[in-house]
Structure 1
Amino acid sequence: MKISIKDITSLPDQSKKFTGAIDICDFSYLGSDFSINHIEPFDVVLSMIGSGKLHITFDTKCSILGHCDRCLGDVTFEVPVSVDETVEVSEGQVVTDDDIGPYSFVDGEEIDIDELILNEILVNFPAKILCQDDCKGICPVCGKNRNIEPCGCDDTVLDPRMAQFLDVFNSFKEVK
């Protein structure tokens, strides 16, 4: 969703409210693909502060479909989105901030709400996505999902630096 700022920038100390909508549904993050299943309804408020600053605010929640980091099963999780941005405007256009550089959510005389939402999703994205807190993951030996059924494989992890000692001990077992 793109909102033209041309009309609001000519009205100092005024606000306009828009009903928000989202056009993106899929995105990639750290090599994984995700889908936005649902986004709660929201209102975008554009407010002019004096005649030189535009304030953009809205709050919503996104329901996102991804994969569990341990068992690779599908999992749906919520990410809060809270946008509170202030940009400088001049002659109906957003002025680029020298410290920040060009804004990714500005396209000439339009504010790209989808880009703002995606930026906030990525900032608030969980570090690890799990289907449940005690997810057992996939067995490294046989590849079964240990949440569905136990596999009985030996999952003892040996220190690779001690592997040569293990070979020595195993050779003594063979002699007996």
Structure 2
Amino acid sequence: MNIKLTELDHRKGEPLSFQVTLDAVDLKNRHHEIRSLTPVEVEGDAVKLGNLYYVKGDMKADIDFICARCLNPFTQHASIPFSETFALADDPVLEDDEDSDIHPLEGDQIELDTLLQEDFLLAMPTFPLCEEDCKGLCPTCGVNRNDSPCTCSNERIDPRLAGLADLFKDNK
């Protein structure tokens, strides 16, 4: 999706609404934790205020993951806000602050697809969890501890300190 700068210039501060759908297949292929997802619906506004161009909005999709702890599949509804600021490449505001979040514009259009895909992928979890307090699988017997309790003793003792454990057993 491209937004023409001249169209924003003529609006004189009035926002320009837009809607676009991002390619779900491309996004799925770029993130290894996404199993499948619905098309990403994007709604937003673009406006020119002063010398800067602002684009903000929201992305929505249903995403299928596998839980990193219990390995159960689950679907998460994502609503991801985004906000980007642009300035012409020769604008002094870009020279003043090298670490700013203002994107330089080359040409007469704002190209949004790449930035929106990047914002979407950065919002995806590295280790998706079905629930925040997911207990995961028992490392000894493999039972899903969310479904049933496990009686395994998963106490790990450093082998270098195992002799100390025997010392404390003699005192009891």
TM-score normalised to structure 2 length: 0.65
Tell me which protein shows more helix as a share of its residues: 2
Instruction: Provide closer, same or farther for how the CA distance between residues 118 and 90 of structure 1 changes in structure 2, counting only shifts above 3 A.
Output: closer
Structure 1 residue 143 and structure 2 residue 142: aligned? yes
Instruction: Provide closer, same or farther for how the CA distance between residues 132 and 18 of structure 1 changes in structure 2, counting only shifts above 3 A.
Output: closer
Deviation of residue 96 (structure 1)? 9.3
Alignment of 1:1-176 (within 5 A): 2-8=1-7, 11=10, 13=12, 14-24=14-24, 25-26=27-28, 27-28=30-31, 32-35=32-35, 37-38=37-38, 41-50=41-50, 52-89=51-88, 97-98=94-95, 99-100=98-99, 109-113=109-113, 115-119=115-119, 122=122, 124-125=123-124, 129-150=128-149, 152-166=151-165
Deviation of residue 75 (structure 1)? 2.5
Deviation of residue 49 (structure 1)? 2.3
Q: Deviations over 1:111-161 (max 9, x none)?
A: 223532532552x55586322344221111233333345554322333555
In structure 2, how many angstroms separate the alpha carbons of the residues matched to 1:153 and 1:107?
Answer: 62
Which SS does the other structure have where 2:138 is aligned?
coil
In structure 2, how many angstroms separate the alpha carbons of the residues matched to 1:8 and 1:95?
Answer: 23
Which SS does the other structure have where 1:57 is aligned?
strand
Which SS does the other structure have where 2:76 is aligned?
strand
Instruction: Provide closer, same or farther for how the CA distance between residues 87 and 110 of structure 1 changes in structure 2, counting only shifts above 3 A.
Output: closer
Instruction: Provide closer, same or farther for how the CA distance between residues 102 and 132 of structure 1 changes in structure 2, counting only shifts above 3 A.
Output: closer
Structure 2: runs of 5 or more not aligned: none
Deviation of residue 56 (structure 1)? 0.8
Structure 1: runs of 5 or more not aligned: none
In structure 2, how many angstroms separate the alpha carbons of the residues matched to 1:90 and 1:121?
Answer: 26
Amino acid paired to 2:88 = V
